[in-house]
Structure 1
Amino acid sequence: MSKTALITGATAGFGEAIARRFVAEGWNVIVTGRRKDRLDQLVLELGGEARAIGICFDIRDEAATRAALGSLPLEFQAIDALINNAGLALGTGMADTCDLAEWKTMIDTNITGLVTITRLLLETLVARRGLVVNLASIAANWPYPGGNVYGASKAFVRQFSLGLRSDLSSKGIRVTSIEPGLSESEFTLVRTGGDQASYDRLYQGANPLQPEDIAETIYWVSSLPAHVNINSLEVMPVSQSWAPFQVHREQTA
């Protein structure tokens, strides 16, 4: 019998690539997102409702999340893996110039939405002795100027993953925090408000990670024997490493 994975934020980037990778390995998938047209197209490309189903909702909305999960047909209710990919960064400015509304949107999406859907599915995942994969970031571990709330939200995701792991180890549940570095996807266009020039500068010559690289990593985690857990995993392109410590220097006369 095929296993079933629920993948949040599957209308582009990592989420879409993860869905394609899992279907290629014989899994059924539930793909979620806010853009119904993209979900519908993805479901068709994945083989239609025999292999995939799309549920359209805003993960920040608890009532909508509950309703969407409650609408799943019987054949998609036995979820074996929850892949919490939905998330975003907004803006690159310093903390004292940032938009508070953007901070709150990141918190509502990256933290509140993630913990809500996780809690709503935990009983099912425990019953299935399943898997939770949370998409964090190297920003959870390595702060940088302009990272502020985004990095803090991903630090929460990493620590929440470890906490879940601790709580659920006796239940046979596996929990993994995946922490990508420089990755090329629509994520960066969202962060910069659609600034294509900034996008191009960021990735030029860097050979960054691609969504398919993260999808392959997550599938590897899911395919390990049931007694093996990857607690957390940083993934960077070879071209990226750690920067020198930032030092602010006073202007001298």
Structure 2
Amino acid sequence: MTNIFFNTPHSPLSHTLAGRRRKASLKRIVAAVCAGLSLFCVLQILTGSQAQDRILVANRNIARGARIEASALKEIQVPASLANSATLTSREDALGQVALVQIAAGQPLISSCLSRAPSLPTGYTTVRLLLASAPESLTPGQSVQLIASVPCSSHQNTAAAEAQETPSSDHCLITSKALTMELPKRQERNASQSESIMGPEHSPTITFALPPEDAMKALRLPQEAAVIAVDSGK
């Protein structure tokens, strides 16, 4: 075996204490380097042989009620695991769906946290309303009753108005067949918005689908009327 230090019986390193110490230190350094290289090679082999799964994660924060767009998605590879079976792997499966919860950037997209946007029922129209009740309790596709804080419009005949009103004459059941279509992207609350049930395009309104006659009833309500949504249990 070749002596890597090229010592000879006449070398000064072999005849002094300092030389022997330097020689021992060099041997330890070489041994440590070899051990580190061996460990690195083993880890590279194990990592390369481990199966990988491709999953979808959020490329940015996705608000609850927001529709999933292509720019909000990113594909990554992770070690194969049974836990990955609940995550989406195809962009086509995620695009157009609605987030049922807040999804943070980098978080995997799980199928149970998304829902297909509801389709508009035949014979229904859509209306944007600013609710006095908390919109956080609603999800796209949920059936609700819409109740106003003022009596139903006097334009209705008396029999119809009495049938629509709740036991308190100070309230009006706008509809019992509203379908939640889309939630606001932001929850902005201020005094001027809380006083209006019909907000402008940029206000945090909720889109409901309801029969046209009920939509007209909502439009006839005074601006100061407050509207709440109650789960219909359907």
More strand by share: 2
Instruction: Select the structure that is richer in helix.
Output: 1
* Structure of higher CA gyration radius: 2
User: TM-score normalised to the size of structure 1?
Assistant: 0.21
